[in-house]
Amino acid sequence: MSYELNAGGKQLAEVIEKVTWSGDSKQVARKLVFTVANKDSDRFLPKVNINEGDQVQFLEDGKLLFSGPVFDIEKSGSGNVVTYTAFDLMFYVTKSDINRVFDNETPEAITSWICSHLGIPFGAAASTGIPVYMPWLGKKAYDGIMAAYTAASRKNGKKYIPLIKNATQLYVIERGALCGVVLDGSYNLTEANYKTSLQNMVDRVLITDKDGNQIGVVEDTAAQQKYGVVQTVYKQEDGKDAQTEAKALLQTLEQTGSVTGCQGDSRAVSGYALIVQETTTGLFGKFYIESDTHTFTDGKHEMALTLAFSNMMDEKEIENQSQG
């Protein structure tokens, strides 16, 4: 495989020491960190002049994996290396506020408007056909997209995530589609870990009205008998089904996994799923990629993934869903 990194209109193959390309399903904006040799004593080493705001493109076998501007520049005390950090277009969506009341508009229409308003190239947004009323005044654009899709998700049961595809356009996709990668402990999986935890357990939810009076309860009696009782309180909200919201708060055994040091595959990125076959740890089946870190150094591509057993989206709330 061949890799190419261009920054400030220049090809940097001769001076690149390491490239890290990463993403996280909660932070959304993909990040590219690259380290450049900067040895003044080496007169044969090309001099590099990269500034904040310069565009960076990273390609694998001619395919564009990343495009975005430099945001951070860090020089080491020794002065031998300079580290640059760039983000893709989702950075602008996560950092920018919008100010609009969306009245009876679908999440896909809301996403299209946000992209147009912020000047973000728009590809496509997963179709829901579910209109929402969403006053979004002085709030983050990314949170607005997710709040609209959260409202739709609670009606159709699907999970969604926005991301930049082909490094150039914003898409909203259904989370958890298989990316085509299979990791097998017998040949392409070096290290796998599996963890279970009860620290975030909730097996009883008390439902109250707006005045704090208890009006119902939802509980997992099997979990209570096995693990004990941890309860929380859900206060009834306008426009929401209290039973459904309370059930969503129930949580027992959390299961997470991770894989490290395996052969990199650029298809394995957060928001998608892959197949893992590693019988020793119990990681066997379909898993959802929560975060990914791809490292490119000395012509090698390795990746580390954090995996989830369930398909969860980054839910955001619409504080006032009633008109007037």
Count of H-run helices and E-run strands, the chain? 5, 21
Note the pLDDT tens digit of each residue in 42-94: 566 567 789 999 999 999 999 999 999 999 999 877 768 899 999 999 999 99
The residues spanned by each domain of the chain are 3-87, 92-174, 178-197+254-308, 204-249
Statement: residue 323 has pLDDT above 60: no
User: What value does the mean pLDDT take over residues 135-164?
Assistant: 97
CATH code for 178-197+254-308? 2.40.30.150
- CB-based contact 234:208 (threshold 8 Å): yes
CATH code for 3-87? 2.30.300.10
User: What value does the mean pLDDT take over residues 303-320?
Assistant: 90
Note the pLDDT tens digit of each residue in 1-13: 789 999 988 888 7
Give the pair of three-digit tokens for residue 41: 């004593």
Q: Give the mean pLDDT of the chain.
A: 91
- Per-residue pLDDT, 324: 41
Prediction pTM value = 0.86
What percentage of the chain exceeds 70 in pLDDT? Answer: 96
Cα–Cα distance list, 106 to 100, 102, 167, 318 (Å): 14, 9, 25, 14
Q: Which fold has domain 92-174?
A: Phage tail protein beta-alpha-beta fold (3.55.50)
| Distance of alpha carbon 65 from alpha carbon 60, whole angstroms | 7
Given pLDDT bands bounded at 50, 70 and 90, which one contains residue 192?
A: confident
Give the pair of three-digit tokens for residue 68: 């975005």
